[in-house]
Chains A and B, each alone.
Chain A
Amino acid sequence: MDPMEQIKATFFQECQELLADLEAGLMALETGDNDPEIVNAVFRAVHSIKGGAGAFGLEELVSFAHVFETALDEMRAGRLAMSTPAVKLMLRASDMLSDHVSAAQGQTPADEQRSSALMAELAALTQDGSASAAAEPPPAFIAVPSAASPGLDSDEPVPDEIGFVPLRVNLDPPPASGWRICFTPASDLYAKANDVTPLVRELERLGPCAVHLNAEGLPDLDVMDPEAAYLNWTIDLSADCSRDAVQAAFEFVDGDCDLTIEALVPVSQAPPAMDLESVLAQARMPSPPPSDGEIQAIIDQVVPSVQVHMDQTKAGASSVSSDHPQGDAAPDAARSGQPSGPQATIRVDLDRVDRLIDLVGELVINQAMLAQRVAESGFARSSTVMVGLDDLEQLTREIQDSVMAIRAQPVKSVFQRIPRLVREIALSTGKRVRLVTEGEGTEVDKTVIERLSDPITHMIRNAVDHGLETPAERVAAGKPEEGVIRLAALHRSGRIVIEVSDDGKGINRPRVRQIAIDKGLIDPDAQLTDDEIDNLLFLPGFSTASTISNISGRGVGMDVVKRSLQALGGRIAIASTPGQGSTFTMSLPLTLAVLDGMVVTVGDQTLVAPLTSIIETLQPKPSDVRLLGPQSRVLAVRDTYAPLIDVGAVLGWREQAANPAEGVCILVENEAGGRAALLVDTIQGQRQVVIKSLEANFQDVPGIAAATILGDGRVALIIDVDAVIALRGKSPASPTFALAS
């Protein structure tokens, strides 16, 4: 990639980080935290976006960022109050800025009307606060011609449409043949690391220079400050250049020196007796260097005294640094205190990480196989070989965890998009919402994070749109006008849990029930528990909004949320209290690469059941099994009944249903919370298995989620609990697929 393109990609990446910082900062300000460092950080974010945008000529982004930055600068300087309306406006401006960034990336173009309206609002904000020139047009971000040639770009005659080039008549006096420059540095010029040599060098780029040093200003040695400037120079520059060009050479010392620039007598006004050749020759002639004698005299005079002052300066300098310890002590503070400098990170191609994860998976399998072989060879548990193997197992496990951690990322990347979403929905629904997020640092696999984004977005939409009441309704219910949406992430028993809760009206169960009846989803006489009614929301095609709003109703219902979570091995649950609000809890595996499973035997096959869906295992008594028709059986589990499913029969491995009394039942719960008892022959044990995709390596198999390789090298299939329950009663889709055993 072209290096500039690469930097541009970096810029857009950085923009996302800066936008997140910006929003986080503004939200902190909104909650009343008025730490000046937050305002600074917010300002810097916009400033950096503008800076980078300028470099890439992204003019619309620059214009907007400029106005935004001006307002923030006013706030930073304390000239603009950090009022709630101002911060709210800035939050909207940060959304707009984000749109401009997307537009600059060639995505959706930004809404120009909204942009100009916001710019006007921002400008008005600063004009209210002060007479500052916020509304002045943003600086033209065109690469400015080099400072050595100012003034040459603007007044060139430009041809008009018919190609006529206006004649340029120069009424200015003819250019000087050169310039006499008198340069007297201010006494602290050198303290800023400016020097005369580079200045003369600059002038020499314009033309030949005759440099004359005036040492008359040199004080008595006793009172001389060796670091101050006492000398001055007269430089005759022979060049046909503008005064501005000469001035430009002194740009950096402007204000730190006395500078006069006078035209040398122009050629045209020179005495007629002098011919051009001789004038130029004279002008170009450097003044004669001082004689050796003169130089020696100055040196003799200066050296001893300079030595004395040098010693004093050294002593002084060390006392200065102890008087002002900040400069030298600061790095120490950084070393001991905050993390210093950039975080030590490297960017690695995701494919490489995945390859590593894959290899570690193989390593885990290999280690397990080795352990099994060794165990079969009859080594004693206490033998050095077995102890060594235990260590290897431990190490393999640690490697696996570490590698998995590489793919883990904080959920922050998903969470930081939510505040904007909430603001937009709140705006269009007229509700007042405060978003509280918790556990942004919770880490989970990158792929899981990516796929979490949509379900979370949808649930947040629902929470604001359906969950919260309007301000008027809330006041009438004795609640604060502002509703609270809480988005939290946490780790719980090896899974990540995402909770979206609101303090709204809760699920209107009678209405949900009625809708389900109207839509023919349930029987009118059905007796449903509260939980069952709540779970109706997950049925396909269910929508409680009386009108399809453009917020929640986009043809995507909770059923889609649920299905996409299930695809990730996730679950979703609802808890709702009328008048107090609802909480949606999603739980997902931390990684999609390994799974804790229960290894079971069915017929001559070994299967793995995901531990997360298992509630308990039990040994059924014949009396607990009831027949419901010729095919259906249920198992009495304490005071309820669960359908009894013979896994072997459902998967088509045996024709005759097994005798429950000879097997073991695994009580499982599907994603909808429905329970079933899976009948298997024996339970071998519990272990972590590396998931291998069946689709990628073989083909999709009904009732099977994936495969894994066991310690003995055999392939074991991982049961898709939901699919197995769904397959119940249907004839097996693919009656036989035998595995090598």
Chain B
Amino acid sequence: MTQTTQGATLSHLDWLEAEAIHIMREVAGQCSNPVLLFSGGKDSLCLLRLAEKAFRPGKFPFPLLHIDTGHNYQEVIAFRDQRAAELGERLIVRSVEDSMARGTVVLKHEGESRNKHQSVTLLEAIEEFGFDACIGGARRDEEKARAKERIFSFRDEFGQWDPKNQRPELWSLYNARSHKGENIRAFPISNWTEMDVWQYIEREGLELPSIYFAHKRPVVMRQGAIVPVNVPLVSGELANPVKAGEEIIDLLVRFRTVGDISCTAPVESDADNVEKIVLETATTTITERGATRLDDQTSDASMEQRKKEGYF
């Protein structure tokens, strides 16, 4: 771990780090049963490093929770488990497939993306464990609904976000009070951009799942997006089977975001280490979500809509 204070002014990464630590400690100080959402992705890996800086030599004052759609990249799931074990922290996994078995998640058709259904499983986990706060790695630069969300975001009993009725948030005086059944979502890296995240990963020497780095992968082109096909799942099945008439290309790609396989597309890249990714991020011409999130393209307001329904 490094800390670079230049003269008396904090570097931008030090400032962002200090703010995130402060936010995590406010969650720990104000809430009685918080949890940290950890997917194995780069943003949540930053959260874990920030939690180490906030709470070591103590244990984290919260367990880690992953909502697994069952359609995640094996490499990421393996990395998730490895990282939680290295830290010696408790990892809880709740599965969208269990919600499907219970009948609380009903897919419109077998191939429907399970991404938005994570909200149901998340709310079930919140109820099961009685969590009063969830710490997440969402950033305001990702999407315009997020640009207007508070760092401490209040959700009602149904997990709903009401953009017109948010609590005023001033200075760094956060209000995490809630009644039983209600919930606070706290976003310590709200003020970070994709570039900040990569610079922090570089500075801290954080390890990442291998699929963030350039690798050869069978893909097809669908509606202008690169879509990985025949992706092996932990269950042994293959996700995204190739459709008739599609031509499989073996392409050098990396992922900028990692989520449910059905809605995360890679970008063409030969950046095989963090330094190259930082440079590529500095010169890219496409936004992170624009390039890679198939779910945000369905409608201009789809993130706003999902958040109103309890999504992170």
Does chain A bind chain B? Answer: no
